[in-house]
Structure 1
Amino acid sequence: MTDHIVLAGASGFIGQHLAAAFRAEGARVSLIGRHGPDASWGDTAGITALLDGADLLVNLAGKSVNCRYGPENRAEIVRSRVETTHELKEAVLACTAPPRVWMNSSTATIYRHAEDRPMTESGGEIGSGFSVDVATAWEAEFFAGELPATRRVALRMAIVLGDGSALVPLMNLVRAGLGGPQLDGPWPATRARLAAGTYHHEGRGGGRQKFSWIHVDDVLGAIRFARDDESVDGVLNLSSPNPSDNRTMMRTLRRVLGVPFGLPAWRWMLELGTAVLRTETELVLKSRWVLPERLVDGGYEFVHPHLDEALKSIVAGRRGAA
């Protein structure tokens, strides 16, 4: 019997990758989005009909965090995650035959800025600030209430690497000669940013902030793994077992692209640049040190466990498609 997989908020590169891969293995894939095509947000009855009898629901919905964290964007980042998750829960509750498994996107940014030790599902410490508040509200909505027929897994994703990911602008920086490390340092805090939780407090510096990552192929692999292992529920870290740091990441990317040097970017440069580009320094300065304890203990074998090989595969794929 053909599996029926429903992907919500799947217009980005991760969702497109999942949809293509599941269809290639013979599954029926349906999509929920702002404009369908199979069901649209706000049409809870239509979403319920689509989910009834489905084998797997994967929700990836949420406004990109690659923006400036002003009041409107902050509100939309939260709303686009919490409200869509709530609507899916209402639909699942209304199903006669609800999905057996529901995986909801979350983020490894839920953990604190970590320079001293890695964060795992069992021993990780939740951080503070706006991004963490978003993640905790998202997961709180996802796990609230009873869904006795549906197993729930929150996917705490590290930075996902692939063709179309956050890697692309980094590749462009490298090719422009700006592919050195992003260096933390002092920067004055405003009352507004402190109150909103969007100010990045200075870390160790030197480009040694940890860089936890996962290849998009292993996002797919981890979802398949969690779908098939009925013991997996609750939170699941999606990250490579071999995290890097910012300095090493940029050096590796330069080597893979054949660029011999890259100018570093200091905190003051990043603050000015991100203000112009309408994004936030936290995205490159927060130390994300995350390990996939449950995947490793469960025997999952990573397709791309090492950064150098993962980057080479992505760059080779882009060149082959050109």
Structure 2
Amino acid sequence: MKYKKIVLAGGNGYLGTVLAGYYKDKAEEIVILSRHEKQTDGNVRTVTWDGKTAGKWTAELVNADMLVNLCGKNVNCRYTEKNKSEIFASRLLPTELLGQVIHDLYEPPKLWINLSSATIYRHAEDGPQDEATGEIGTGFSVDVCNAWEAAFYKYETPKTRKVALRMGIVLGRSDSVFPRLLNLVKLGIGGMQGNGEQYVSWVHEHDAARSTEWLMEHPGLNGIVNCTAPIPVKNAELMHIIRKTYGMPLGLPAPKWLLEIGSVVIGTETELILKSRWVLPKRLLDSGFKFEFETAEAAVNDILR
């Protein structure tokens, strides 16, 4: 086996499950730090922590090949003051705690990847945003990303290389955005949302997992790295691709006013749908990373196959 130990903090969610599955045959041991106990599954075991205080779990970080921090309350909710507070705390507290523990360890993890979000860039319909030239946006979700990355860099970790991975919308079979879009298509209401001109910066779940291994294997990469497919797609085109691949000829559009009503009913925010995220993975591409799913057609075909 190639890797000795991979640690996934907050790894019981969708992306953590994807990563655990990806590394199952590539690592001797995968450790998930979670608030809830779970039965050991082969070489994947769960260790409990509260994400706020140091404890026995800190021993799991010693000499790990990689730590990926995935902690954070789902932003797919209404931005009430209570939810806003939980969104911040669920990201900042575990990140600062991990930084403090790693700073104090004699043999810390070799690489620490902290999840961030491609939504940190401004609403862009006029040009792509990359790590070098991208412009940071404004608003609540951007404030969350800025605070999250600041927490990540709060502690010096000279023995641990750090990457803030600004992830696009992960497309996959089991959870996250794709099953929800597919449900709209199945109901005949899978047309464009808003004016359909907003860009969607997406990444197939397999490429999201592959990118973390690439980062392990390329020690020259640190700091900010975008993880989005190299060919973003407009919302109208993405919905067309899903309809066509699924075999649904009709898809009623959802204008902005209807989305405003619907988002209140289902308990989410329209920003998640209407913000134009035109983000490119310049540093991954420049380092030679090849995406297996470069186009939305290829990704949707694979997911629905």
For the aligned pair, the TM-score class normalised by the smaller chain equals over 0.9
Cα deviations by residue, 1:245-279 (Å, 9 ceiling, x for unpaired): 00000000000110001000011100000001010
Contact kept, 8 Å, 1:210 with 1:244, in 2: the verdict is: yes
Shift of 1:27: 3.0
Matched, 1:290 2:252: no
Q: What is aligned with 2:106?
A: 96
Cα deviations by residue, 1:231-252 (Å, 9 ceiling, x for unpaired): 1000100000000000000000
Q: What is aligned with 1:111?
A: 121
The sequence identity of aligned pairs, in percent, is 45
TM-score, length-normalised on structure 2?
0.94
Contact kept, 8 Å, 2:3 with 2:26, in 1: the verdict is: no
Aligned pair partner of 1:268 in 257, 265, 271: 257
CA distance in 1, matches of 2:218, 2:82: 40
Aligned pair partner of 1:223 in 206, 209, 212: 212
Answer with 70-79 or 4-13: which moved more: 4-13
Q: What is aligned with 1:182?
A: 193
Aligned residue pairs total: 294
Root mean square deviation of aligned Cα: 1.1
CA distance in 2, matches of 1:159, 1:279: 16
Q: What is aligned with 1:194?
A: none
For residue 287 of structure 1, give the secondary structure of its aligned residue in structure 2.
coil
CA distance in 1, matches of 2:73, 2:117: 13
CA distance in 1, matches of 2:17, 2:123: 30
CA distance in 1, matches of 2:72, 2:160: 22
Shift of 1:2: 4.5
Distance 1:88 1:145, change over 3 A: closer
CA distance in 2, matches of 1:165, 1:52: 31
Shift of 1:39: 3.2
CA distance in 2, matches of 1:155, 1:139: 10
Structure 2: which 5+ residue stretches go unaligned? Answer: 38-45
Q: What is aligned with 2:30?
A: 29
Matched, 1:45 2:46: no
Q: What is aligned with 1:302?
A: 291
Contact kept, 8 Å, 2:8 with 2:30, in 1: the verdict is: yes
Contact kept, 8 Å, 2:165 with 2:226, in 1: the verdict is: yes
For residue 284 of structure 1, give the secondary structure of its aligned residue in structure 2.
helix
CA distance in 2, matches of 1:231, 1:178: 46
Q: Report the AA paired with residue 39 of structure 1.
A: T
In the TM superposition, what are the counterparts of 1:1-322 in structure 2 within 5 Å?
Answer: 2-36=3-37, 37-41=46-50, 42-163=52-173, 164-183=175-194, 206-316=195-305
For residue 100 of structure 2, give the secondary structure of its aligned residue in structure 1.
helix
Cα deviations by residue, 1:194-235 (Å, 9 ceiling, x for unpaired): xxxxxxxxxxxx310011100010111111111110110001
Contact kept, 8 Å, 1:44 with 1:90, in 2: the verdict is: no
Q: Report the AA paired with residue 173 of structure 1.
A: L
TM-score, length-normalised on structure 1?
0.89
User: 4+ runs of 1 displaced by more than 3 Å?
Assistant: none
Q: Report the AA paired with residue 116 of structure 2.
A: S
For residue 265 of structure 1, give the secondary structure of its aligned residue in structure 2.
coil
